[in-house]
A and B are shown apart, each in its own frame.
Chain A
């Protein structure tokens, strides 16, 4: 289990790559060859992540005694007493000697519980700093959830690195692009293995600043800088919530340690309900900004201003899933805070479901292919948050996993289309590209089917689990969430069909001759498309696998990734697979595709409705203007706040700051004058002049001796000799 304890190496590698590229890239590697460093680093990261993932599965399959939480076998009230013995001794669990203890642990825990509760591997390296008796530690926290994200981030980032060698070739800031790609990856990897909430905050902000840099990569154009600033500032709004939430958590539990916080909550559910509610609401604000949830999702479509591979990285693997990951990591906080187990609607589920719905709605009214995908991401992230809100932890992480692959494939596909067709993202200038770009077309369709949730692609399985989770819930179902989820399933299929129609079918409406992208771009597309097909296999429900005798492989993500060591204490339950629910979800997605197909391909339905009907036009306008949210923020909120602040700031600037600066300047001038007059002229120059004058006058005095007459010298010589002789005689 060496890799799990030394997981810090994984974020360290891209961090080193960042330093190497930025500081030595131009001189020693060559500015146009720095991708070699980045790709090498990411390949290493991928390998190490794979090793870590493998070792984690080994830890779950063959747990050592110290990796398992000891449970007393009595009755069915499991979880109330399992955490008593390990609240303090985390940080030193080494699992090197697992070979000897396998049989013991299997024998000991085969009875009362379906699978043993595996503790995460926590390595604390040192105290970062210590203040007033509060210790700030640095360490890594590796469990199934971490290695799941490690694999996602490493895979997507590696493919994006490879894809970018062609996509941003010849860019004037090629070197900086790769440097920050590395830093972005390092930040996200650091974030996912944070051992305490301080590290979570650090990673969170690092990811934010990297996305700021990359979104504004082409900063010569104003809209790009605006988008970068918007992303950054919107995230700052949420970061206030993050800080406050973390402070509330610390105030409640007096510790920053994630393991300790989760354990304290799961061993004593029901305590601190109010504090947890406040913390969960604050953290929800942070999630809303980072993961693009309503009402702070507006930065996300604008972030499309960055290079397309960056969009793929941000929207599939790194930035936006940070929020979802944070909820999953601190799930006991949210579970208890929002009473997910007992309610039938709560803030998180509602925000998630609502976001999914409005994101899907907005995707219909966009002409920019990347913006459609961006709103699709908003919508899918809403799905994940909703899943977490209804208690379907595994479904959310499973959807995060599958979504990463097909959404990255879609973004890279959009980039490929743009690369081939005159660098436009406007679907009105595309059309009919399926003949010219067969590889891009096929991968795009596969990923769209996965996103729409068509059997047997990856999205079908994860979406089905979310819908099922909403239907069953925990103690109560979440009917409103189920309605939202079903509506979004229909809409997702429909807007993706629309995108395919406008981009790849019909007549070509652009100019120039489109062409297929080179292999370095299509191969990553095919890899991602392949994952979009098979990623669902990682968490297949049991009944699917029973007929072919592989039921042992069912629910792998649930088995490996779910932190049941905490969640069991909360009493989290898993719904039984339902064929009806799966068929309903599939039917909805298919009907979405069929309706759109009829509308575009067969010209059926109400064409020109927006021109003829006033209400339809109004509705379309609302969608086109993104529910006027940007207007609300910019014109109403920002302006009302901005004007008085600007006026006050101006007054402050003129009267206080300027005066202070002027006073400082005048004082400095006076001091300078005084120094010049007294110190410089008086003391320093005076002493120098005095020395010179002294030398001059002494030389003048001694000059008279140098008469040049030999006899004078002789007089002095003999006089001196006589004097010395007299002294000699007298003294001796």
Chain B
């Protein structure tokens, strides 16, 4: 079951990404974890595309990579500005929206 193995890999990678997003306090590490989740999704897209014999899965994966690059660019810029203003990138420190 080649498909299953790939899906299990994707799910594991996604779970690692979720853990990183929820548990890491370093903002850069959170961004990297988001990249992990996106790549887990990419694996799934490519696998299902191969499974059905179409290329659109791989095309979507390329789109996601492009969007992820842009997203990381914006995210790192935010982290950089946060550091400049607060000298910290600990996400626990930023709760300005607290109700």
* A residues lining the B interface (CB < 8 Å): 703, 705-711, 714-715, 718
Contacts and interface: CB of A to CB of B under 8 A. Distances in A.
A708 B96 contact: yes
A362 B69 CA distance: 125
A711 B93 CA distance: 11
B52 interface: no
Interface of B: 18, 21-23, 91-92, 94-99
Nearest to A704: B99
Contacts of B18: 718
B91 A706 contact: no
A711 B22 contact: yes
Given A711-B21, A711-B22, A714-B22, A706 B99 contact: yes
29 contacts: A703-B99, A705-B99, A706-B97, A706-B98, A706-B99, A707-B95, A707-B98, A707-B99, A708-B94, A708-B96, A708-B97, A708-B98, A708-B99, A709-B91, A709-B92, A709-B94, A709-B95, A709-B98, A710-B91, A710-B94, A711-B21, A711-B22, A711-B23, A711-B91, A711-B92, A714-B21, A714-B22, A718-B18, A718-B22
A665 B18 CA distance: 77
Given A708-B96, A711-B23, A714-B22, 17 more contacts: A706-B98, A706-B99, A707-B98, A707-B99, A708-B95, A708-B97, A708-B98, A709-B91, A709-B94, A709-B95, A709-B98, A710-B94, A711-B21, A711-B91, A711-B92, A714-B21, A715-B22
Contacts of B94: 708-710
Contacts of A714: 21-22
Nearest to B97: A708
A703 B96 CA distance: 14
Contacts of A708: 94-99
Contacts, number: 31
Contacts of A718: 18, 22
Nearest to A702: B99
Q: What are the nearest 4 A-B pairs in CB distance?
A: A706-B99, A708-B98, A708-B95, A708-B97
Chain A interface SS verdict (over half) = helix
B51 to A, nearest CB: 21
Contacts of B96: 708
B10 to A, nearest CB: 15
A710 B23 CA distance: 11
Contacts of A705: 99
A696 to B, nearest CB: 14
Contacts of B92: 709, 711
Contacts of B23: 711
A703 B22 CA distance: 21
A709 B93 CA distance: 8
A715 B23 CA distance: 9
A706 B96 CA distance: 10
A707 to B, nearest CB: 6
A710 B97 CA distance: 9
B89 to A, nearest CB: 13
A711 to B, nearest CB: 6
A457 B92 CA distance: 124
Most buried by B among A703, A706, A710: A710
A202 B99 CA distance: 80
Contacts of A707: 95, 98-99
Contacts of B21: 711, 714
A656 B92 CA distance: 84
A711 B26 CA distance: 12
A706 B23 CA distance: 18
A296 to B, nearest CB: 92
B19 to A, nearest CB: 10
Contacts of B22: 711, 714-715, 718
B13 to A, nearest CB: 15
A716 to B, nearest CB: 10
A357 to B, nearest CB: 107
Nearest to A705: B99
A706 B99 CA distance: 5
Nearest to B25: A711
A709 B99 CA distance: 10
Nearest to A715: B22
Nearest to B92: A709
A720 to B, nearest CB: 13
A714 to B, nearest CB: 5
Contacts of B98: 706-709
Nearest to B21: A714
B50 to A, nearest CB: 25
A659 to B, nearest CB: 65
Nearest to A709: B95
Nearest to A711: B22
A168 B47 CA distance: 110
Contacts of A709: 91-92, 94-95, 98
B38 to A, nearest CB: 15
A245 B21 CA distance: 108
A714 B91 CA distance: 12
A708 B22 CA distance: 14
Nearest to A721: B18
A711 B22 CA distance: 5
A521 to B, nearest CB: 91
B54 to A, nearest CB: 25
Contacts of B91: 709-711
B46 to A, nearest CB: 22
Contacts of B95: 707-709
A694 to B, nearest CB: 18
A705 B99 CA distance: 8
A279 B83 CA distance: 116
A436 B37 CA distance: 123
A706 B95 CA distance: 9
A707 B98 CA distance: 5
A709 B22 CA distance: 11
A328 B65 CA distance: 117
A706 B18 CA distance: 21
Nearest to A718: B18
Contacts of A711: 21-23, 91-92
A364 to B, nearest CB: 106
A539 to B, nearest CB: 106
B27 to A, nearest CB: 10
B78 to A, nearest CB: 11
A608 to B, nearest CB: 116
Nearest to A713: B97
A611 to B, nearest CB: 113
Most buried by A among B91, B96, B98: B98
Most buried by A among B18, B23, B96: B18
A718 B96 CA distance: 22
A711 B92 CA distance: 8
A596 B2 CA distance: 150
Nearest to B95: A708
B18 to A, nearest CB: 6
Contacts of A710: 91, 94
Nearest to B96: A708
Most buried by A among B22, B92, B96: B22
A711 B25 CA distance: 9
